[in-house]
Amino acid sequence: MEKKTKLSWSKRRTLARTYLTFRSVSLNLLGMDLVPENPPPVQPAAQPVPPRLPPDPPSRLGQRKKWWEKILAVLGAVGAAIAKFFAQIKLLILPLLKFGLPILKTGGTMLLSMWVYAQMWGWWFAAGFVILIFVHECGHLIAAKIFGLKVSAPMFIPFLGALILLKESPRNAWVEAWVGIAGPILGSLGALVCEMIYLTTGDPMYRALAYTGFFINLFNLAPVGQLDGGRVVTALSPWLWVAGYVIMGIFAINHLSLILILIMATGLPRLFSLFRAKTDEQKRYFEVTAAQRFIMAGMYFGLIALLLVGMELTFIPRN
């Protein structure tokens, strides 16, 4: 009995610690990770090739002119060779820029995030944490690719998690819900793998990672603002947004979470638009069949339930 009381106290301490971590770091982790990108800037039209200089008029100083012409011809040939060289380089460099830069950007921002988190939790945990976020983002990426949506490579922002930019909006609420839920689904599987590693190696760090992963993905399923949950329940019922705002609102006020309040505030326009009278086109966007709604609701509430169970099972009381 006494032991149980002790455990419960330590559990409380851990909860307090978890909450602190939650507040200082994770609150809007992956928070706004599916951000619609500003319309891409209009590419300036290709520079017209400057017209060639008109040939010099026949010169009265015949011999001297020919000498200049020779030099010009050599210079022209050299210039043409250089231009050709750069044109070929461009052919090589452009694909490199196109595919290399996003990788560099993702990798670089990933490393930066890892460094920041490592200062708090040590390198191994930080690496696992950032990889878990990356797996979550990959879920969104894969779903977006399957539905043929253009998205950016993930970018990591220390303290904020990561985000990918949607370069075009989803066709309808069903597609949006899928892109939204795919992140938490894959992210939760990633956390499950951490728990499996714990069960085989016995290294408690992996269990801590699993717990953190379950928590991040659960948090992102909250039906508010730009969080993944907000996108998912758009296909279910706007009233879930209201429920989400009530629950998260109470939480945000209780814990004076500025970040959560910000997430909710930025989501308000969407909340109102869900209840406003819709145009025919908007109505078509929100058309979801009963079967689709059933599937999405099953995945959404099922995943929430599984994550709660996962968090309960992987909870490590500190002594």
Binding mask 111-150 for Zn ion (x = CB under 5 A): ----------------------------------------
Stretch that binds Zn ion, among 218-226, 244-252, 256-264, 294-302 (CB under 5 A): 218-226
Contacts of 267 (CB under 8 A, 6+ apart): 224, 225, 226, 227, 230, 241
Does the protein bind Zn ion through residue 33 (CB under 5 A)? yes
Q: Under rule CB under 5 A, which residues in 186-215 are in contact with Zn ion?
A: none
Burial (0-12, 13-18, 19+ Cβ within 10 Å), 114: buried
Among 215, 228, 241, 257, the residue binding Zn ion under the rule CB under 5 A is 228
Among 154, 183, 190, 310, the residue binding Zn ion under the rule CB under 5 A is 183
Stretch that binds Zn ion, among 221-229, 237-245, 257-265, 274-282 (CB under 5 A): 221-229
CB of 32 to Zn ion, least distance (A): 9
The smaller minimum CB distance to Zn ion, of residues 141 and 198, is found at: 141
Number of residues that bind Zn ion (CB under 5 A): 5
CB of 218 to Zn ion, least distance (A): 12
Q: Under rule CB under 5 A, which residues in 53-72 are in contact with Zn ion?
A: none
Instruction: Give CA–CA dist 187/77, Å, rounded.
Output: 58
Q: Under rule CB under 5 A, which residues in 281-310 are in contact with Zn ion?
A: none
The smaller minimum CB distance to Zn ion, of residues 27 and 198, is found at: 27
CB of 140 to Zn ion, least distance (A): 6
Instruction: Give CA–CA dist 238/242, Å, rounded.
Output: 7
Shortest-Cβ-distance residue relative to Zn ion: 183
Contacts of 272 (CB under 8 A, 6+ apart): none
Stretch that binds Zn ion, among 22-30, 50-58, 269-277, 310-318 (CB under 5 A): 22-30
Burial (0-12, 13-18, 19+ Cβ within 10 Å), 127: middle
Cα separations (Å) of 232 from 15, 221, 236, 242? 28, 8, 7, 14
Instruction: Give CA–CA dist 277/283, Å, rounded.
Output: 9
CB of 220 to Zn ion, least distance (A): 5
CB of 259 to Zn ion, least distance (A): 16
Asked if 300 and 233 count as a contact pair (C-beta separation under 8 A), the reply is: yes
Q: Name the DSSP letter for residue 167.
A: S
The smaller minimum CB distance to Zn ion, of residues 30 and 126, is found at: 30
Burial (0-12, 13-18, 19+ Cβ within 10 Å), 291: exposed
Contacts of 174 (CB under 8 A, 6+ apart): 235, 288, 292, 296
Does the protein bind Zn ion through residue 176 (CB under 5 A)? no
Stretch that binds Zn ion, among 11-19, 190-198, 224-232, 297-305 (CB under 5 A): 224-232
Q: Name the DSSP letter for residue 23.
A: I
Instruction: Give CA–CA dist 24/318, Å, rounded.
Output: 20
The smaller minimum CB distance to Zn ion, of residues 138 and 295, is found at: 138
Binding site for Zn ion (CB under 5 A): 30, 33, 183, 220, 228
